[in-house]
Structure 1
């Protein structure tokens, strides 16, 4: 493996969130992008980003997986042979227990692992990301405090360090419930004319997640193991 560039970053997956991260991380370290989709690579090239065309060329010290949890196994299988000592892999999936298990199982023990979940997306980040929360779940290695410090100092994020299990348990309520309600209540265009201020505030919250990709909604509402209990509690309360 070639010598690893110090403090360099490769983002794997150039969808909406990958593009958001590239916009902010590019100021912190030399940045490159890899995506198996030629159209995504073309979008990254159009923005002037360094684009890799082969996973074997991923030599950055920090590799960020900006892919849906549904495609994470295939992504890990593709990059695993090319990663080794001195590299850290960070996922940004909306749930944490499943990605943590997959990364531990599929990546070399020489690779440091950090599960993360930025508690914002392209819609909620339009006004900037300073002051927003990001959850970090250290899994393997000792380099994660440097990542946490950079996120705090350079990007102004509020860093919460916890376990994948605790994240999923809390996120089931704080995020999963919002996505469930977004599937139930009518969109703003069909909102009743007679409504309270509290309804308007709730509608604003639901509008922030109304354009999330279907795979994101499925991960949050179906793949979080703590959602089943929350749904049962909600149904019992409605009775």
Structure 2
């Protein structure tokens, strides 16, 4: 595993922190977890570090910051002076521009930002992970190699492109699903009856919605509130629904059809790939509805 023999994972009791802990341990590193959880080997608030945490950081080859951004930025500010000059810092925040600024200001060595675009309880093989190289170095390459070795598809980007893309991939996607759930819940039809009468699109959207509402609210709220492009994404989503409603209520068949064609033109070759993927999803949905 190169020179990454000792690692500290800040927030290592959380889902993403645990994933990174397993990754580093599987590669042979000795990993210490710093977390507010009392059973962590380095318990306590990482923004007011204990002497034991500072000592561990001084000797660590890799420091993972698996914290919500509101905590990650002050943690990086407080702890960076104690990192070894050749250590690699890895942050896992879902929004990157503020982290990039903190790293540029405070971190002396190499630094990498990652955003696993899947829930940590899923197998990483074949799944996407965004990577932002805040500051290059040997440790960055080593961590990226470890991630790729799990079968993860690593997409290298920069902080601005990452946040712009996540405004569509995460902010608009999650907002549309939550709005869908809110609307359905107010239509006066029993959820069980809706499930019994479900079409494949409804069943698929409901499955996605159920996964979100069964997750950690703070994670999804952070995605909505901290992305600088999030407000524009939600505004476009709301405007798109207003346009759709206006076209339908006006009986404007031409405008409705043009809207579909415009979306298809934007997607280009992605549309055909998405339709193939949808066919596979609907095959799974059919098996699910049979078991009801």
Scaled by the length of structure 2, the TM-score of the pair is: 0.68
1:7 equivalent to 2:10? Answer no
Closer, same or farther: CA 157–21 of 1 in aligned 2, 3 Å: same
Q: Which moved more, 1:189-198 or 1:59-68?
A: 189-198
Question: Of 229, 240, 245, which aligns to 1:226?
Answer: 229
Contact 2:60 2:84 in 1 (8 A): no
- 1:47 corresponds in structure 2 to none
Contact 2:80 2:106 in 1 (8 A): yes
Over the aligned positions, Cα root-mean-square deviation in angstroms equals 2.6
1:151 equivalent to 2:147? Answer yes
- Structure 2: segments with no counterpart, 5+ residues: 44-50, 243-292
Aligned length: 222
* Higher-RCO chain (CA-CA 8 Å, sequence separation at least 6): 1
- 1:49 corresponds in structure 2 to none
1:35 equivalent to 2:30? Answer no
CA distance in 2, matches of 1:174, 1:63: 28
CA distance in 1, matches of 2:56, 2:219: 28
- 2:263 corresponds in structure 1 to none
Q: Which has the larger radius of gyration?
A: 2
Scaled by the length of structure 1, the TM-score of the pair is: 0.82
Residue 162 of structure 1 deviates from its aligned partner by 0.8
Alignment of 1:1-239 (within 5 A): 6-8=3-5, 9-13=7-11, 14-41=13-40, 53-58=52-57, 59-107=59-107, 109=108, 111-123=109-121, 125=122, 128-143=123-138, 144-153=140-149, 155-186=150-181, 190=191, 192-193=194-195, 194-239=197-242
Greater share of helix:
2
CA distance in 1, matches of 2:23, 2:135: 25
Partner-residue secondary structure (3-state), 1:35: strand
Partner-residue secondary structure (3-state), 2:31: strand
Q: Which moved more, 1:140-149 or 1:129-138?
A: 140-149
Q: Which moved more, 1:201-210 or 1:226-235?
A: 201-210
Contact 1:93 1:116 in 2 (8 A): yes
